Amino acid sequence: MDLTFTREEQAFREKIRAWVGQNLPTDISHKVHNALDLTAQDMQRWARILGKEGWHGYAWPKQFGGPGWGAVQRHLFEEECALAGAPRIVPFGPVMVAPVIMAFGTPEQQRRHLPGIMSGDVWWSQGYSEPGSGSDLASLKCKAERRGDYYLVNGQKTWTTLAQYGEWIFCLVRTSNEGKPQTGISFLLIDMKSPGVKVRPIVMLDGGVEVNEVWFDNVEVPADNLVGEENKGWTYAKYLLAHERTGIGDVNRAKRELERLKRIAKLEGVYDEPRFRDQIALLEVDVVALEMLILRVISAEKSGKQSLDVAGLLKIRGSEIQQRYTELMMLAGGPFCVPFIREAMAAGWQGDFFGAAHCAPLAGTYFNYRKTTIYGGSNEVQRNIVAQTVLGS
Amino acid sequence: MDFDFSDDQNSLRDAVARWVEKGFSFERRHAIAKAGGAARAVYNELAELGLTGLAVPTAHGGMGFGAVEAMVVCEELGRGLVNAPYAQAALMAPLLLAAAPATVQAEWLPKIAAGSALIVLAHQERAARYRLDQVQTRAVQAGGSWSLSGAKSVVPAGDEADAWVVPARTAGAAGDATGVGLFLVVKGAAGATVRGFPTQDGARAAQLTLASSPATLLAVQGLPLLEHAVDAGIAALCAEGVGVMDKLLAITVEYMNTRKQFGVPIASFQALRHRIADVKMQLELARSMSYFASLKLGEPAAQRRRALAQAKLQLGQSMRFVGQQCIQMHGGIGVTDEYVASHYFKRLTVMEMTFGDTLHQLGEVSSRMLDTAGVFA
């Protein structure tokens, strides 16, 4: 048992740190460190910088052009990127659909899609949720009918993150109504430029636009875009969820944001107020405990000796911590979080903040982060999953 | 980065688990508790297993093992709800003697290893709460020998001990960081009286009163040593707490799958399913911080203190939540004396109030906070 990284792992960390230091544009890290709006261009610029190095798909095996890193290296890469203020990698392409294409796609699908995902050139979205299918995802209705060499797709997806920039979307679609709801679902790749695809942005409670409704009106999708077998899509979707491992806890970003919380608390004069400071101290222990839990998972993965099935716990705890630091930052800002100047959440705002620049994004982020316990399988659904494992019934 | 146990550590765990399985049934524990909590017989059995020599250097007849081995043992003792002062006598006492004169070490450490001497820390004073520098007991030197006067409370297995390690002031006032010496007072010393009593968790403790009692000096500036030993005690408690919670969760899961109401097992009710998920969360966070505590014990004092306070804060929260919720999910049977769950709950409760409760640790974490954050801050 050992809490230190090996010399090789340390050297790897140094290498990543130096590279990020040289390649992460400071205008982007400035925005991340101050929770200012990132534009689509910012996100894609960083994706392409990573892609050039072969790191946009940093968890990919060498066989598909990835670096073939192990669990510890992936964690160190995530940590160095997060602490330096890199934007989170938009996961839909490199983290979500790519592993499914690798595992179940045809060689042709792999050749066609993986290079564009790795390079950061092709923006992907995820078409899962529907107006009637949230936590009960398997009840989804968006229909794909086989017509010779294409599928005719009709229906609606919603909460589709960043679909306004999406070039491709991977969708769960209903191809059969036979048997259990799960057995009639297929995994389909759809070019969003296809006639009949319509995207409508949804303005969220913080005034920002992050998610969309996506309509499919008689969209013709080549049958070659089916991943794996028809009616096996649910299996692939579950594989995808299992593939999202420790990243879901996002503890590295939590560490960065906890440091920011301390800075804000100092600026606002509450860091030395015992009642406030104790709340930060409690959160600090939550973060350390989550990090230790994640390190346990990484160690188990590295040694292969023990398995730790705690993905549900990581999702619950990680999201609760994210909400808590945004909440405490807002409370630190107090009345100066009340002014709602939407433009002040973008970099370079020259107008009045009616308080302080660092307070401008705090309430918006707090509002926005209520999503974290809702998306990716609500925390209540996660508790169902954890309970199933614990109770065995 | 490695959280696997070695084969030797796993063997050690198995040995303790086997002893619990064969020799320490709930009936035995219950009988000991009802009879006043005397622990010496159980402690002697742990000595026969060689466990009392775990932290004693090999030069003095011990095994010279480290914090991870101690953690493994304590976790199993917790699982078995073993009411013996193992952490205090076997893990902390050798640390408290670490700076003692060679002759004192040579006299006592082999006895600790063999289990023939039970030595415990007697540090709690009425006005000190959890602050280790709040020492009022006085130490006076005359003619080359020391004598102590004062009172120490809630000394674990105090009336079964062969000697006590007693912090006492050689100088200064309560709250001063310097002037706290560590002394050894042997059972039967002139002016030393012990009055034993049972504790809430089925063990035993004592009130120790010293009136000009002869004592052997272990360390002149004893506070750093005392802090180190208490941190080792915290790490041991964390591990024990994990064992206790792990077993209590297993007991509760079995009950939920067996107990029927409204014609179905109560494990089918979502209100309880979500609760058990929350219990599992608290257990795994606690286990993570128990590892953290043991792995940070060897760090320099400032880092060690911060880490151990963080760990005990997590454990305090987890132990209270897991204890309370597992009792609740048992319903009426959970609040009876005859059923095992209440005993686990009471042990968890007492552990929270040992070596600094959750609010005390929050103060420690809060005042020791850095600008950075995380495991490697």
pLDDT tens digits for range B210-259: 999 999 999 999 999 999 999 999 999 999 999 999 999 999 999 999 99
If you measure CA to CA, which chain B residue comes closest to A282?
A: B362
Interval B21-34 mean pLDDT: 96
Q: Give me the pLDDT at residue A307, please.
A: 75
pLDDT tens digits for range A55-91: 999 999 999 999 999 999 999 999 999 999 999 999 9
In a shared domain, residues B352 and B258: yes
Burial of B113 (0-12, 13-18, 19+ CB in 10 A): buried
Q: Give me the pLDDT at residue B309, please.
A: 98
Please check whether residue B288 touches A, CB under 8 A: yes
Q: Give me the pLDDT at residue A239, please.
A: 86
Q: What is chain A's mean pLDDT, rounded?
A: 95
A247 pLDDT above the threshold of 80: no
What CATH number is attached to the domain comprising B42? 1.10.540.10
Any domain includes B229? yes
Cα distance between the two ends of chain A: 33
What CATH number is attached to the domain comprising B135? 2.40.110.10
- ipTM of this model? 0.97
Every domain of chain A with CATH number 1.20.140.10 lies at 244-391
B12 pLDDT above the threshold of 70: yes
Shortest alpha-carbon distance between residue A259 and chain B (Å): 6
In a shared domain, residues B260 and B196: no
In a shared domain, residues B41 and B21: yes
In a shared domain, residues B70 and B102: yes
Q: How many domains does chain B have?
A: 3
A236 pLDDT above the threshold of 80: yes
In a shared domain, residues B186 and B231: no
In a shared domain, residues B238 and B363: yes
Nearest to A292 among B267, B362, B375 (CB): B375
A246 pLDDT band, cuts 50/70/90, is low
Q: CA-to-CA distance for B92 and B88, rounded, in angstroms?
A: 5
pLDDT tens digits for range A91-119: 999 999 999 999 999 999 999 999 999 99
Record: contact A291-B1, CB cut-off 8 A = no
Any domain includes B372? no
Q: CA-to-CA distance for B275 and B287, rounded, in angstroms?
A: 18
A329 pLDDT above the threshold of 90: yes
Interval B84-112 mean pLDDT: 97
Nearest to A284 among B256, B288, B369 (CB): B369
Q: Which of residues 312-331 of A touch B (CB under 8 A)?
A: 312-313, 316-317
Range name among A238-252, A293-307, B207-221, B304-318 with the lowest pLDDT average: A238-252
Last residue of a domain, one of B168, B187, B221: B221
H/E element holding A185? strand A185-191
Nearest to A292 among B277, B280, B291 (CB): B291
Any domain includes B298? yes
Count Cβ neighbours within 10 Å for each residue of B200-212 and write b for 16 or more, e otherwise.
ebbbbbbbbbbee
Q: Give B15's Cβ-side CA count (13 Å radius).
A: 16
**For tokens 């982060």, what's the residue?**
A369
Q: Give me the pLDDT at residue A243, please.
A: 65
pLDDT tens digits for range A173-205: 999 999 999 999 999 999 999 999 999 999 999
Any domain includes B306? yes
Q: Give me the pLDDT at residue B38, please.
A: 95
In a shared domain, residues B187 and B234: no
Record: contact A383-B265, CB cut-off 8 A = no
Every domain of chain A with CATH number 2.40.110.10 lies at 124-230
Any domain includes B374? no
B367 pLDDT band, cuts 50/70/90, is very high
In a shared domain, residues B20 and B105: yes
Last residue of a domain, one of B80, B114, B148: B114
pLDDT tens digits for range B35-80: 999 999 999 999 999 999 999 999 999 999 999 999 999 999 999 9
Q: Which of residues 234-263 of A touch B (CB under 8 A)?
A: 251, 255, 258-259, 262-263
pLDDT tens digits for range B120-146: 999 999 999 999 999 999 999 999 999
Q: Give me the pLDDT at residue B162, please.
A: 98
In a shared domain, residues B338 and B235: yes
**For tokens 């800075």, what's the residue?**
A263
In a shared domain, residues B252 and B276: yes
A253 pLDDT above the threshold of 80: yes
Cα distance between the two ends of chain B: 16
Q: Which residues from chain A sit within 8 angstroms of residue B285, using beta carbons?
A: 286, 289-290, 293, 317
pLDDT tens digits for range B173-199: 999 999 999 999 999 999 999 999 999
Record: contact A288-B292, CB cut-off 8 A = yes
In a shared domain, residues B272 and B351: yes
Nearest to B281 among A9, A292, A313 (CB): A313
Q: Give me the pLDDT at residue B305, please.
A: 98
CATH 1.20.140.10 holds for A244-391: yes
Q: Give me the pLDDT at residue A244, please.
A: 61
In a shared domain, residues B234 and B362: yes
Which residues, other chains included, contact B309 with Cβ-Cβ below 8 Å and sequence gap of 6+?
B356, B361, B364, B365, B368
Predicted model pTM: 0.97
Q: Give me the pLDDT at residue A245, please.
A: 58
Q: Which domain holds residue B340?
A: 225-367
- Paired sense of beta strands B204-219 and A143-147, if any: unpaired
A20 pLDDT above the threshold of 80: yes
Last residue of a domain, one of B221, B244, B268: B221
Q: Which CATH number fits domain A124-230: 3.40.50.300, 2.40.320.10, 3.30.1490.20, 2.40.110.10?
A: 2.40.110.10
